[in-house]
Every structure is written in C-alpha cells, then in structure tokens.
Amino acid sequence: MGFWAKLKEKLTKKTDQIDESENILQDKDKKIDQDQNLVDELEKTTQDIKKAELKEQSKKSQEQKLEVENIKEKKVKTIKINQTKKIEKSSETLKEKKKREKQKQKDKKVEKAMLKSAFNFSQDIKKLSKKYKQADDEFFEELEDVLIRTDMGMKMVLKVSNLVRKKTKRDTSFENIKDALVESLYQAYTDNDWTNKKYRIDFKENRLNIFMLVGVNGTGKTTSLAKMANYYAQLGYKVLIAAADTFRAGATQQLEEWIKTRLNNKVDLVKANKLNADPASVVFDAIKKAKEQNYDLLLIDTAGRLQNKVNLMAELEKMNKIIQQVEKSAPHEVLLVIDATTGQNGVIQAEEFSKVADVSGIILTKMDSTSKGGIGLAIKELLNIPIKMIGVGEKVDDLLAFDIDQYIVHLSSGFMQGDEVEK
C-alpha cells in the first residue's frame, strides 16, 4: 500500500470512529425506548392500585390505607426517576449527535476550502505525468517550478524535490513518483521540529488560559480572535477579550459589534477609555477581571502595525511582563494571523513578527480564497512555526483546527484519486 493510500485510510478511520459512535448512540436510543416501556408499565400499575384502593377503601382499615399509599408513592417515585433518566439520556444523546454532525461539516468545509489550491496543483502534476513517463533531471526541474507556484518557498521546494529523488531512485515510474511526492510533502512538514512547538492549541482545563493574537492589519486578526472566542464559548467556557489594539481606530468597535451581533453577548470585553491608550493597562485590567471572575480563557487583541518594530516590540514586552506576573508560563499561545492569499509576503510577515514575539503558531486565514495553498509549508520549513488553525469562510464557525493529514490528502487528491477513478 502506497503512502497516500495509508494517509487516506487514516482519515477514513477517523470517519469510521464517528460512524461507530453513532451505532453506539442508536443502541442507547433502543435502551431509552425500553426504559420508556417500563415507565408505561409502572404508570399502568399505579392506575390499577388506584382502582383497587377505591374498591377496598370501605373494607380496609386506616393502617391498610396507609400501606397502599406508601406503595403508590414508591411506584410514582420510580416512574419520576425513570422519566428523569430518560430526559437526561435523550439530552446527552442529542448533544453527542450534534457534536459529530458538526465535525463532519467541518471536514467538508476544509475539503471545500482546499479545492482551488488542490485543482491547480493537481492539474500541473497531471500535465507532468503526460509529458514524462519516468523521472529525469528535466522532470525534477519542472516539478520544482510546480512546487514554487504553490507558494511553499524555495527552501521547502528543494527539500521536497530532494526527498522525492531519494524515494524514487529504484523506481522512477510516475505512479511511484506521485506517491513519493505525497509522502515527501508530509515528511517535510512533520520532520522539521527543532523547536518542539506544539501542533495543537495549548488550552487546558482548570487554569486561566491566556492567548495573544498578533499580525498586520488586514489579515483578519480581530475577526479570527472573535471566531476563536465563539469556538470556546460554544464549548461552555467563560471567555474574556482584551481589546489591546488601542492604535487602530475602530478595532474596539469591531469587537463590540462582533460580541453583540455574532456572539450573542456570550463573551465579555475589557477595553480602553480612549484611543492610543496604553495597551498594557488594558491587559492588566483584563487579567485582574479574568482572575477575580474565574474566566477560562483570555484572548488579547494587539496592534497590527509592523512598520514601527521598535514600538511594537516595546508594547509586546510590556504586555508579556504584566501577564507573567500572574502566570509565569503565559501567554500560553502567541498566534500570528496571516492571510493565505498574500503568498510570500506572508512568509516575510512571519519572519518579522518572529523577531519581536515568541510566536507559537499560525492562524492561516482566507484558505478558501487562495489557489496557492503552500504558504503554511513555507513558514513551517523556514521558521518551524506550525499552522494551528485555518480560516475557511466568513461565518462565525469558519475557524477550524489545522490537520496535516487532512491538508495533504485534499491537496493531492486531484492527481491521486483521478487515476483511481480511471482504473
């Protein structure tokens, strides 16, 4: 079995696990129906007791009446307990079903968001497959041109190209080349872990999680922060936003509008009293409130200007000092927001921000609008900063966790599945 087939099988197993869980839920539903039958029987028993009580009322002593009352009371109590259990189980089942359905919808969104990038990449690979039956130096030159057009950067292009060469030394057929290309893309992303940065968002229970979002204006930083707030609020966590971008006019108003119209006031906000106020003072007030009122998550929006790196660095350092007075390990995430449509300019932004902040992960926005989906690979190779979330649309729930398995399968499915269909 080739690497792509194994990767696809891995994703299929994730789906199968969801389906298996649904079967378990169906069994639970059957059990609930059985419980309901029991409740019906108990209700009938209660009615029979009432009838018997009326018939025997004149004959039985007061003591016997009390005994009947006790029996009736016990039966009614049993019925109520079973009804309560049924309601609780039904509610739990519905929650689990909704959660699984949401996950399936998210998977479809990612696949749809990758269509433009996957189509162009696959078309280019298919052209190479028609032109070359085996790999030679000329083929690898053209392959590198194709990879460059995906915006994955020269360093990553050469790494992938060299990996493909090594994997196809014994078998230079195009079938083997395609599978080697998929494996090389995956390997190039996952092997480069010299800073041990976590692939997933570092959110933990029973602590105040503090996340800071940075990025230039226009990348979708504030919008991504609002969507992240919605994500955790929907999970039942208490979320607070610190509007520490006091430099851009309208930044705080944008957050207020989001909270009111899109987040249904489920998230709270701490803001400055005036424009150009000290961002660190906003962060201080937000941390104080978050600690006193037991919030689970504090999201900090920051100024997006990069042209004045000295001021930005000073601001971030001051905010970090205030945060670390409360929690030495915080901020638990410093997430750099990059617009996927900006191409190599996004790589430059990542490079510049990594000089002034300890960036722990990337939020890649507008993935549904780009035909070049390789920018995340470029950043990972150059700076070893992993993609942690991707924006796949304008809806409030269109910010999703990044999955490298999913990304590689969707990126390569056009030229890998195409042959399967033809066969």
31 and 102, same domain (yes or no): yes
Q: Which of 95, 113, 131 is the last residue of a domain?
A: 113
Per-residue confidence at 73, pLDDT binned at 50, 70, 90?
confident
392 and 306, same domain (yes or no): yes
Per the prediction, the chain carries an average pLDDT of: 82
Binding-site residue ranges for GTP: 215-222, 301-305, 365-368
80 and 173, same domain (yes or no): no
DSSP conformation letters of 70-94: HHHHHHHHHHHHHHHHHHHHHHHHH
Cβ atoms of 113 and 365 within 8 Å: the answer is no
Q: State the Cα torsion 351-356-358-359 to the nearest 10°.
A: -40
Q: How far is CA 43 from CA 46, 160, 224, in A?
A: 5, 70, 54
Q: How far is 210 from 332, CA to CA, in rounded Å?
A: 6
Give domain status of residue 162, yes or no.
yes
pLDDT tens per residue across span 283-304? 999 999 999 999 999 999 998 7
The dihedral region occupied by 208, where left means phi > 0, alpha psi between -120 and 50, and beta the remainder, is beta
Higher pLDDT, 237 or 418: 237
Give domain status of residue 16, yes or no.
yes
Q: Which residues pair with 134 in a beta bridge?
A: 173
246 and 363, same domain (yes or no): yes
60 and 78, same domain (yes or no): yes
CB count within 10 Å of CB 41 equals 11
99 and 119, same domain (yes or no): no
CATH number at residue 408: 3.40.50.300
96 and 135, same domain (yes or no): no
Give domain status of residue 123, yes or no.
yes
Output the pLDDT for position 419.
46
pLDDT tens per residue across span 176-198? 888 999 999 999 888 765 445 67
54 and 24, same domain (yes or no): yes
Is the alpha carbon torsion for 131, 134, 136, 141 positive or negative?
A: positive
Give domain status of residue 202, yes or no.
no
20 and 81, same domain (yes or no): yes
pLDDT tens per residue across span 17-27? 655 555 555 55
Higher pLDDT, 305 or 19: 305
Q: Which of 152, 167, 195 is the last residue of a domain?
A: 195
Using the predicted structure, report yes or no on whether residue 225 has a pLDDT greater than 60.
yes
Binding-site residue ranges: 215-222, 301-305, 365-368
Q: Is pTM, for the whole model, over 0.95?
A: no
Per-residue confidence at 423, pLDDT binned at 50, 70, 90?
very low
Give domain status of residue 276, yes or no.
yes
Higher pLDDT, 167 or 82: 167
Q: Which residue, among 142, 131, 144, 145, has the nearest Cα to 174 in the 3D structure? A: 131
Q: How far is 31 from 39, CA to CA, in rounded Å?
A: 12
Percentage, residues of the chain above pLDDT 70: 76
Cβ atoms of 7 and 182 within 8 Å: the answer is yes
Q: Within 13 Å, how many C-alpha atoms sit on residue 275's CB side? A: 6
Q: Which of 93, 113, 133 is the last residue of a domain?
A: 113
260 and 385, same domain (yes or no): yes
Per-residue confidence at 72, pLDDT binned at 50, 70, 90?
low
22 and 123, same domain (yes or no): no
Output the pLDDT for position 422.
38
Q: How far is CA 33 from CA 23, 36, 82, 96, in A?
A: 15, 5, 11, 18
Q: Which residue, among 45, 43, 40, 35, has the nearest Cα to 82 in the 3D structure? A: 35
92 and 148, same domain (yes or no): no
AA letter at 72: K
Output the pLDDT for position 86.
64
Which helix (H) or strand (E) segment holds residue 337: the answer is strand 333-339
Q: How far is 41 from 24, CA to CA, in rounded Å?
A: 26
* DSSP letter, residue 267: S
CATH number at residue 179: 1.20.120.140
Q: Which residues pair with 243 in a beta bridge?
A: 301
DSSP conformation letters of 369-386: G-S-TTHHHHHHHHH---
Cβ atoms of 368 and 393 within 8 Å: the answer is yes
Q: Which of 13-22, 119-128, 289-298, 319-328 has the lowest mean pLDDT?
A: 13-22
Rounded to the nearest 5 degrees, what angle is found at the Cα of 346, between the Cα atoms of 344 and 347? 65
Please give the residue range of the domain that contains residue 174.
Answer: 115-195
Report the largest interatomic distance among the alpha carbons of the chain, rounded to a whole angstrom. Answer: 107
Buried b (16+ CB within 10 A) or exposed e, 284-319: bebbeebeeeebbbbbbbbbbebeeeeebeebbebb
